A and B are shown apart, each in its own frame.
Chain A
Amino acid sequence: MSATKPRTLFDKIWDAHVVEALPDGTAVLYIDKHLTHEVTSPQAFEGLRLAGRKVRRPDATIAVVDHNIATDASRYGTIEDPESRTQVETLEANVKAFGIPYIPLTDKRQGIVHVIGPELGLSLPGMTIVCGDSHTSTHGAMGALAFGIGTSEVEHVLATQTLLQKPAKNMRVRVDGKLPAGCTAKDIVLAIIGKIGTAGGTGHVIEFAGEAIRALDMAGRMTVCNMSIEAGARAGMVAPDQTTFDYVKGRPFAPKGEAYDRAVAWWKTLPSDEGAVFDKEVTLDAATIVPQMTWGTSPEDVLPVTGSVPNPADIADEARRAQVQRMVDYMGLTPGQKLTDLKVDVVFVGSCTNSRIEDIRAAAAIAKGRKVASHVRALVVPGSGLVKEAAEAEGLDKILLEAGFEWREAGCSMCLGMNPDKLKPGQRSASTSNRNFEGRQGMGGRTHLVSPAMAAAAAIAGHFVDVRDYQPKEGV
């Protein structure tokens, strides 16, 4: 590639990390930061051991437990579930054996891997970041190239600090204009997925741009990038700007002093050049976005909260009709039913999509002075111990507890149905997580994805509501 050709943000980070370009177009790509957790790493360490290999750069690697741990006080005792316990113990033995820095459960910095990376300054602009978890795309909000990998690739990175990769195609999603009141980053990304579909970004890296994206704080950008994978893209990114640099400044592992200034000078060169070519471009007008909620079992099956359950009989395409019928049945819906008439059993505010302090504030603002409906179980699960601490310092825990929410310890919790926090068969949830697949939150569970404010409002009302009719109470 010639130096004068305008390049995208992705191109620039990619080019800066190519160790060697192989004749067939594959690159040996250097990885700056490797985050690991208990679920997708044991077989990788086992592979290293069997081959007699070492970890090339323990200092560029970090391990944390998040997926299968309980989020109540019981986690500080012995983990009850023997398999979960084995996974956590295996990780602890592996980090010791291979000399990898580890944040244990008892450390207040512990949390969901995609929350703690940016929070601790481990994830920085311009980096290549990987983790054995598809929502690694979250870190792209920093202006980094961050993507999820499988366990074999985890082993590959541990051993070589590189990956064999072919460059992705460039896609830009521009969200112009201003986001209306009551709408959030979650509504933006759900609207994008509704528009382009869950395979819309396959083979691409999405750069999110435009006025509405620029206006988002870092938490909002993380929410958007987090769900790139639900749009089919392995990575999503936002060009670093002053918002990014201010966020990074002073974080524990971020560069300090003169190194920070040098870093910022480099980061400022990263945004896509004028005239850079994207293989695919999509635009969206933020002003037209309405609070979103999914109704089906794929994130693309999303509607404005003002909408109604689709009727399979109205769909001409046979395959799609069958698919919609299957989703309507699984979700226990009636065609034509208004979405706001759906009762909820469980409300979950948490996950790497929406468990940062900003998300908890949004939920608390709706909860303040109100009560959770008597038939609803509502959980708020902060993304990290530090988020929890910050929320408690602001008194958000009290507001939430008073309203009848549970206030939990940090972890993935009810996002994925592999720890004690699960839906029971047939239960309907309003969830701020990222996947509404069949059984994702527990076997037979019915998940509707929404923003934290929408989730909190549903908890209060006992059914889905348009959060725009449910604004914070003044003066309580």
Chain B
Amino acid sequence: MRAFTTLTGIAAPMPLANVDTDKIIPGRFLKTIQRTGLGKHLFANMRYEDDGSEKPDFVLNQEPYRQAEILVAYENFGCGSSREHAPWALLDFGIRCVIAPDFADIFHNNSFKNGVLPVKLPREICEQLMEDARLGANSRITIDLERQVVVRPNGEEIPFTIDPFRRHLLLNGLDDIGQTMQHAPAIDGFEAKQRAAQPWLYDAKV
């Protein structure tokens, strides 16, 4: 996984609540067996006409937002299915940070695992950032994960909180399977105990 330290980029405004994962990446694009290549289908139903042409009023079809690396949205972002295709599609498009008042749990987890940083900020602040984002190319927002601040184009710094363990993994681009494997002896011990107490969990044959 690519490490996330700081990011300065164009932010796309998406003033919608409940942006669900079917909006982010509709079900018909889940047939891939790869993690990459989904960027072209990001927000497909909102982004393209039935004939495949672009809907000009959709934000990511406009300059400078085609180059957006940050997305600003409202409540309950990423609700719906567990599809990790949602952060894969965002990442493949180039978006590495989503700022919203809150996130659905599974999407929140999935984002971290792919180096997409979800930043939770109160609604009023998201509204300010939405205004910043609307100003376009000269209005870049910075996310500094090291210092845990979002820097507005006017220089104002807004602190955010984040789970320290996840921050550590992101800053260093660490894979958490490797981390967990260090606990292998404890896992062995757990299994031995559980097997004695609940043998039926170990002998079911399909």
Contacts and interface: CB of A to CB of B under 8 A. Distances in A.
B113 A416 contact: no
Interface stretch (A38-46, A333-341, A462-470): A38-46
Interface in B163-206: 163-165, 175-177, 179-181, 183-184, 186-187, 189-191, 194, 198-202, 204-206
B147 interface: no
A435 interface: yes
Contact of B26 (A30, A32, A102, A443): A443
A307 interface: no
A159 B31 CA distance: 23
Contacts of A30: 187, 190-191, 194
Nearest to B112: A152
Interface string B36-76: 00000000010000100000000000000000000000111
Contact of B186 (A28, A136, A155): A28
B22 A40 contact: no
Interface in A347-406: none
Given A87-B31, A90-B33, A255-B200, A202 B186 contact: no
Interface residues of A, number: 78
Contact of B30 (A19, A155, A418): A418
A68 interface: yes
A198 to B, nearest CB: 6
Interface stretch (A160-168, A208-216, A237-245, A453-461): A160-168
B84 interface: yes
A118 to B, nearest CB: 14
Interface stretch (B3-11, B90-98, B102-110, B136-144): B102-110
B50 A443 contact: yes
Contact of A417 (B26, B35, B205): B26
B83 interface: yes
B41 to A, nearest CB: 12
B183 A39 contact: no
Given A26-B165, A40-B83, A160-B187, A68 B206 contact: no
B180 A59 contact: no
A162 B168 CA distance: 20
A263 B28 CA distance: 42
Interface stretch (A70-78, A126-134, A172-180, A308-316): A126-134
B198 A263 contact: yes
B129 interface: no
Interface string A134-176: 1010000000000011111101100111101010000000000
Interface in A434-465: 435, 437-440, 443-444
A437 B27 CA distance: 11
Interface string B7-26: 00000000011101011001
Q: How large is the interface on B (under 10, 10 to 19, 20 to 34, 35 or more residues)?
A: 35 or more
Given A156-B176, A263-B198, A150 B45 contact: no
Given A19-B186, A30-B187, A443-B50, A43 B35 contact: yes
Contacts of B75: 199
B32 interface: yes
Contacts, number: 189
A42 B81 contact: no
Contacts of A254: 200
A437 B80 contact: yes
B128 interface: no
A162 B183 CA distance: 10
A60 B194 CA distance: 13
Contacts of B204: 59, 122, 253
B33 A199 contact: no
A473 interface: no
Nearest to A263: B200
B190 A19 contact: yes
Contacts of B105: 202-203, 232, 234
B82 interface: yes
Given A43-B35, A162-B183, A232-B79, 18 more contacts: A19-B187, A39-B30, A56-B187, A68-B31, A134-B106, A148-B106, A150-B109, A160-B180, A253-B206, A259-B199, A259-B200, A298-B18, A319-B17, A323-B17, A435-B20, A435-B22, A439-B26, A443-B26
Interface of B: 16-18, 20, 22-23, 26-28, 30-35, 45, 50, 74-76, 79-84, 87, 102, 104-106, 109-110, 113-114, 163-165, 175-177, 179-181, 183-184, 186-187, 189-191, 194, 198-202, 204-206
23 contacts: A24-B164, A30-B190, A30-B194, A39-B83, A68-B31, A90-B33, A122-B204, A127-B201, A134-B82, A149-B82, A150-B109, A155-B177, A156-B180, A160-B177, A160-B183, A161-B187, A162-B180, A162-B183, A198-B18, A298-B20, A323-B16, A418-B30, A438-B22
